[in-house]
């Protein structure tokens, strides 16, 4: 083998060895730790969402809808008196359908038609929601159903920020603990990912009558939670 060929072979071997060594050195220089954590804050709801349905039964579908419209008008009047803005009143559905009476032998008889109109009402002053329920029932009478009253946080911006701060603080504490156990230190943050959309855990709420016969809606507390995954380089 000529001297020139031997030199070329040595050069190629040197390049191959460098290619093998470089990834290992790079891997050692890019050590990292990845942790996930959740932050949760408790907040007191400041608004209430009421679901109500005006409903009537009549001999014809036209009469059923007309009677339902009359009850719905009374509901709107009560909401206007309570100074509920029209933007906070939304019709969810309007329906009319036949109702039957069924017998044991499987036959049925048409008994009339039921008309319904359902509303979702946002009450921005939570402490007035109970008295509003009473006003709606008084206005609609037996043709009005209150289907539910759910407290919620009208503006969750501050609680979301607090939950994010708690999640990051928890993640850093966990990563610091692991780093100490391994005898290393945390470096810079490589990335942070918010794993999912913020979650509001709404407790089950009940509408109850107090001794004074005034409806009281208990607001309770809600958990606002955020989960994050954070990666730090290690020193």
Residue 24 has pLDDT above 90, yes or no: no
pLDDT of residue 229: 97
The single-letter DSSP state of residue 31 is -
Q: What integer best gives the mean pLDDT of the chain?
A: 86
Nearest to 117 by CA among 155, 70, 82, 187: 70
140 belongs to a structural domain? yes
Residue that finishes a domain, picked among 125, 152, 179: 152
Q: Do 181 and 137 fall into the same domain? A: no
Q: Domain total for the chain?
A: 2
Average pLDDT over residues 177-189: 95
Phi first, then psi, for residue 136 (nearest 5°) are: -65, -45
Whether residues 146 and 177 share a domain: the answer is no
What pLDDT was estimated at residue 106? 85
Nearest-angstrom CA–CA distance, 97 and 126: 35
Q: Which domain holds residue 217?
A: 29-44+156-234
pLDDT of residue 199: 59
Q: Is the pLDDT of residue 9 over 60?
A: no
- 105 falls in which pLDDT band (50, 70, 90)? confident
The answer to whether position 175 is within a domain reads yes
DSSP class of 125: S
Task: Give the per-residue pLDDT at 90.
Answer: 98
Q: Number of C-alpha atoms within 13 angstroms, CB side, residue 212?
A: 6
How far, in Å, CA of 70 to CA of 66, rounded? 6
**How many angstroms separate the CA atoms of 165 and 41, rounded?**
10
CATH number, residue 85: 3.30.70.2970
* Angle (CA) 127 133 136, round 5°: 135
- The CATH number that applies at residue 174 is 3.30.110.170
Residue 12, pLDDT above cutoff 80: no
pLDDT of 99 reads 94
Q: Are 146 and 57 within one domain?
A: yes
Mean pLDDT, range 222-228, rounded to an integer:
93
Query: Of all residues in the chain, what percent carry a pLDDT higher than 90?
Result: 76
- For residue 179, give the 3-state DSSP assignment: helix
Residue 15 domain-assigned (yes or no): no
Last residue of a domain, one of 152, 170, 204: 152
Give the C-alpha separation, 224 to 85, whole Å.
28
Of 114, 108, 162, 117, whose CA–CA distance to 140 is shortest? 117
Q: Which of 97, 124, 152 is the last residue of a domain?
A: 152
């Amino acid at each position: 083998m000529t001297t020139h060929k031997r030199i070329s072979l040595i050069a190629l071997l040197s390049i191959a060895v460098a290619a093998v060594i470089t990834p290992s050195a790079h891997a050692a220089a890019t050590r990292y730790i990845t942790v996930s954590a959740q932050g949760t804050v408790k907040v007191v709801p400041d608004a209430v969402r009421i679901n109500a349905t005006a409903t009537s039964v009549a001999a014809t579908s036209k009469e059923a809808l007309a009677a339902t419209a009359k009850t719905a008008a009374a509901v709107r009047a009560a909401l206007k008196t309570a100074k509920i803005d029209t933007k906070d009143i939304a019709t969810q559905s309007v329906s009319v359908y036949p109702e039957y009476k069924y017998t044991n032998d499987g036959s049925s008889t048409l008994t009339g038609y039921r008309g319904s109109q359902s509303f979702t009402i946002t009450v921005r002053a939570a402490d007035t929601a109970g008295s509003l329920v009473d006003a709606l029932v008084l206005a609609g009478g037996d043709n009005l159903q209150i289907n539910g009253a759910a407290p919620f946080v009208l503006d969750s911006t501050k609680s979301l920020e607090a939950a994010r701060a708690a999640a990051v603080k928890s993640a850093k504490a966990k990563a610091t603990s692991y780093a100490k156990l391994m005898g290393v230190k945390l470096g810079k943050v490589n990335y942070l990912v918010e794993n999912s959309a913020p979650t509001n855990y709404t407790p089950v709420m009940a509408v109850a009558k107090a001794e004074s016969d005034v409806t009281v809606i208990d607001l309770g507390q809600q958990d606002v939670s955020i989960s994050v995954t954070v990666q730090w380089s290690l020193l």
